[in-house]
């Protein structure tokens, strides 16, 4: 009898045609130091990963690793407990690689998200010490045909708020449905582009 599950190549039971979607946000929050700024330290900033609704993610994540620019001491920062954030001081903007590792029963490979540290607003906005420069991006973790045990555990989990981030009061509220729709449109556009390239390639052969 087909119960909607199948056994994968490792002998684990998975749910067919099922997706588990976990909305998250990666972001940076940067404070200009104003009069206290020097050549090498102009800002104090925090990079973080959070649930899109600030919910706790410890039932899914085992750790989050932030890869800073090599000019920082120990640029490889591992955070095993929430809040998943790293605070530093510096002078320049750069791309931060954020790697999410999942709980062992998920059996999924790590996922990396690249996020650029933003220290300055656009050219016409002067620096201020009154509020931070925020840069947040909504993302979705998609577990396709998840392990049955992991899926059941996650859907039965009762959501609870995560410990507050240091920049908690400044984080944005995302309209999940709107963001999910934008992501779907992006994915569809990419799929069309891939299909076009493939057609062109096949036509040229
Ligand atoms: C830039 N490509 O030129 C970037 C590099 C590096 C920023 C930015 C280190 C501070 C410290 C720091 O802020 N590095 O180690 O104290 O803009």
DSSP secondary structure letters along 92-123:
---EEEEEEEE-GGG----EEEEEE------T
**From the CA of 72, how far away is ligand 1's center (Å)?**
8
Of 72, 87, 120, the residue with max ligand 1 atoms within 8 A of its CB, to mutate for a pocket test, comes to 72
Closest residue to atom 12 of ligand 1, CA basis: 90
Of all residues in the chain, the percent with pLDDT exceeding 70 is 100
Residue 116 pLDDT grade (very low, low, confident, very high; cuts 50, 70, 90) = very high
What is the mean pLDDT of the segment spanning 166-182?
A: 86
Q: What are phi and psi of 119, to 5 degrees?
A: -105, -25
Cβ proximity of 137 and 27 under 8 Å: yes
Q: Could you tell me the two tokens for 140?
A: 């979705």
In the predicted model, is pLDDT for residue 182 greater than 90? no
Of all residues in the chain, the percent with pLDDT exceeding 90 is 80
| Pocket lining for ligand 1, CB < 6 angstroms | 40, 69, 71-72, 90-94
How confident is the model at residue 136, as a pLDDT?
96
Closest residue to atom 6 of ligand 1, CA basis: 92
Closest residue to atom 7 of ligand 1, CA basis: 92
- Name the residue among 53, 25, 24, 27 with its Cα closest to residue 161: 53
Cβ proximity of 168 and 63 under 8 Å: no
Q: Which residue has the tokens 């729709």?
A: 181
**From the CA of 150, how far away is ligand 1's center (Å)?**
40
SS3 call for 182: helix
Atom of ligand 1 nearest to the CA of 73: 15
What is the mean pLDDT of the segment spanning 22-29?
A: 96
What is the mean pLDDT of the segment spanning 9-36?
A: 95
Q: Are strands 5-7 and 19-32 parallel, antiparallel or unpaired?
A: unpaired
How confident is the model at residue 123, as a pLDDT?
86
How confident is the model at residue 193, as a pLDDT?
87
Residue 185 pLDDT grade (very low, low, confident, very high; cuts 50, 70, 90) = confident
What is the mean pLDDT of the segment spanning 90-96?
A: 97
In the predicted model, is pLDDT for residue 158 greater than 90? yes
């Amino acid at each position: 009898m087909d119960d909607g599950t199948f056994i994968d190549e490792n002998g684990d039971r998975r749910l067919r045609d099922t997706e588990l979607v976990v909305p998250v946000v990666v972001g940076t929050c940067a404070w200009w130091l104003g009069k206290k700024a020097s050549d090498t330290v102009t800002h104090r900033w925090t990079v973080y990963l959070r649930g899109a609704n600030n919910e706790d993610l410890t039932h899914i994540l085992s750790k989050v690793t932030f890869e800073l620019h090599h000019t920082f001491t120990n640029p490889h920062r591992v955070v095993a407990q929430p809040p998943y954030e790293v605070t530093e001081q510096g002078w320049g903007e750069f791309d931060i690689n954020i790697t999410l590792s999942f709980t062992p029963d998920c059996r999924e490979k790590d996922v990396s998200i690249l996020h650029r540290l933003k220290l300055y607003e656009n050219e016409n906005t002067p620096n201020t010490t009154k509020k931070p420069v925020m840069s947040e991006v909504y993302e979705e973790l998609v577990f396709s045909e998840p392990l049955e045990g992991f899926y059941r555990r996650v859907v039965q989990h009762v959501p609870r708020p995560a410990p507050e981030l240091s920049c908690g009061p400044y984080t944005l509220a995302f309209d999940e449905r709107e963001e999910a729709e934008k992501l779907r449109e992006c994915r569809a556009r990419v799929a069309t582009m891939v299909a076009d390239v493939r057609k062109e390639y096949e036509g040229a052969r």
